Structure 1
Amino acid sequence: MNAVTQGELLRALPYARRYARALTGSQARGDELVAQALRAGLPADVPGRLALYAGVSRRVAEQPGQRIPTRQRQILLLTGLEDLSMDDTAQVLDLSAEDTRAEAEAAREALRSIAATDIMVIEDEPIIAMDIRQLVESCGHNVVGIASDEAEAVEMARRLKPGLILADVNLGPGGDGISAVERILREQTTPVIFVTAYPERLLTAERLEPAFVISKPFEPIALQIATYQAVWGAAPVP
């Protein structure tokens, strides 16, 4: 019998949802993937909260035609987005530590070769916006515009047609990042990554929520793999 306790499961659920949504590219498909894993029963060979990540991971089949194989993307999401150690990731995916590290390095190398994306940033704090621009550009992408409030974001997206939107959730007196994105998506189909210091508040499955959520502060690899998944790498749910 799996050793995961109810308390561990409840604490892990929001983050398993984040992982599953990023893996599938959709709130609905990601949440269904988590539900399927729970209905099927969690792997008995993985301890604690890692069992939930394992249950989700083992229900996703390899996708043909991807520049980065599913297993490698899972490793990057688990280590870069979910902040698992390499050893914990190896347990989740039922791999040796050596194979996990080798796959991770191959995935990072593949990420470096992916074509740049034009990114629009929605962020009301100027210093944070500058930091995000530097980070985005260090990952090889182009920042085509920075909007500081909801109205500016809607107008800028309409004019620039970015390949990806990186949006803060809280814009202070300038409005709400989620509302800005909802308005933008009424007019165009653009992948969106939300950035927040409180990701668990956006991962409840109680309302319409984003598919891609990065915790503040974030590392370059988290942005790189989230960008790849948002633009190219979503996986179907069986």
Structure 2
Amino acid sequence: MPSDDTPDLALLIGANLPYLRRYARALTGSQGTGDRFAAATLEAILEDASIFDSVHNEKVALFHAFHLVWASAGAPLGEPDTRLSAKAQDHMAHLTPNTREALLLHAIEGFTHEEIGAIMQIEGSEAAELIEIAQREMADAVSGRVMIIEDEAIIAMDISAIVSEMGHTITGVARTRTEAVALAARDKPDLILADIQLADNSSGIDAVNDILKQFDDLPVIFITAFPERLLTGKRHEPAFLITKPYHEDQVRSAVSQAMFFSSTETLVA
């Protein structure tokens, strides 16, 4: 690739790097391991950027390069650094091969079946089949108690309906940081779904971190119109971050994964 294209390529990679870090972390079960493979991917691209000539979608090309590096290393998982990570690794071992990758790429990163095929070097129809298998295996595995932190009543009702239809129990809906902390203390959930901007201008991130001071073993899914507040590229990226407006299958997939793996973490505000 000509040298005068390098600055543009660097900008494109930089814009997508937080998403790659998030995916790598969720895929490997460890932010440290995920970051090492993300860094190795960047090194590989610096040596040979021709992958961006053959794949016209820069984000697809970046994720494809990551998969080549990760697969060539034997698709390793990270060393669990917490009890939840260890539990996630154990659960992951029982999934049908390649299903977790396909589901994460589709439900969390928003890739189409054809794009997933390009990333994983399979047919789009096979990617769709892998996603269906993963959704079925995860949804059938566990059910639990879910707390929702959301100040918009219609959205809260919609999320509650989706989660309830999946077989989970809603412990309640909180509209503010104070309500959220009180609700969690009164009825400990197994999973938290949280918006970032709350009714009284309080922060859903702060609310979640307050709750995690009481219970440090709760997985969290953020559903927000402000993803840039969490995907900074500077700190651990949240494994599950759904952007508004969301699709029902995104919520279902994220909840199934979080309940199955108990592997999501939040950020320190």
Q: State the TM bucket, normalised to the shorter chain.
A: 0.7 to 0.9
Q: Deviation of residue 174 (structure 1)? A: 5.0
Match of 2:187 among 154, 160, 184: 160
CA-based RMSD of the aligned residues comes to: 2.9
Match of 1:35 among 39, 44, 66: 39
Q: Secondary structure at the match of 1:77?
A: helix
Query: Do the aligned residues in 2 keep the contact of 1:25 with 1:230 (CA within 8 Å)?
Result: no
Normalised by the length of structure 2, the TM-score is 0.75
Matched with 1:143 is: 170
Partners of 2:160 and 2:210 in 1: how far apart? 23
Matched with 2:76 is: 61
Alignment of 1:115 onto 2:123: no
Matched with 2:231 is: 203
Partners of 1:38 and 1:157 in 2: how far apart? 41
Normalised by the length of structure 1, the TM-score is 0.84
**Number of residues paired by the alignment?**
235
Partners of 1:185 and 1:168 in 2: how far apart? 16
Which shifted more, 49-58 or 136-145? 49-58
Superposition pairs of residues 93-112 of structure 1, within 5 angstroms:
93-112=120-139
Gaps of 5+ in 2: 78-88, 265-269
- The verdict on how the C-alpha distance between 1:208 and 1:79 changes in structure 2, with shifts beyond 3 A counting, is closer
Alignment of 1:232 onto 2:247: no
> What is the identity, as a one-letter code, of the residue corresponding to 2:192?
I
Gaps of 5+ in 1: none
- The verdict on how the C-alpha distance between 1:178 and 1:34 changes in structure 2, with shifts beyond 3 A counting, is same
Partners of 1:207 and 1:98 in 2: how far apart? 35
Q: Deviation of residue 11 (structure 1)? A: 2.5
> What is the identity, as a one-letter code, of the residue corresponding to 2:231?
L
Matched with 2:61 is: 51
% of aligned pairs identical? 38
> What is the identity, as a one-letter code, of the residue corresponding to 1:122?
I
Deviation per residue, 1:135-165 (Å, 9 max, x gap): 2223332211111111111111122111000
Q: Deviation of residue 210 (structure 1)? A: 3.2
> What is the identity, as a one-letter code, of the residue corresponding to 1:49?
K
Partners of 2:37 and 2:144 in 1: how far apart? 28
Q: Deviation of residue 121 (structure 1)? A: 0.3
The structure with more radius of gyration:
2
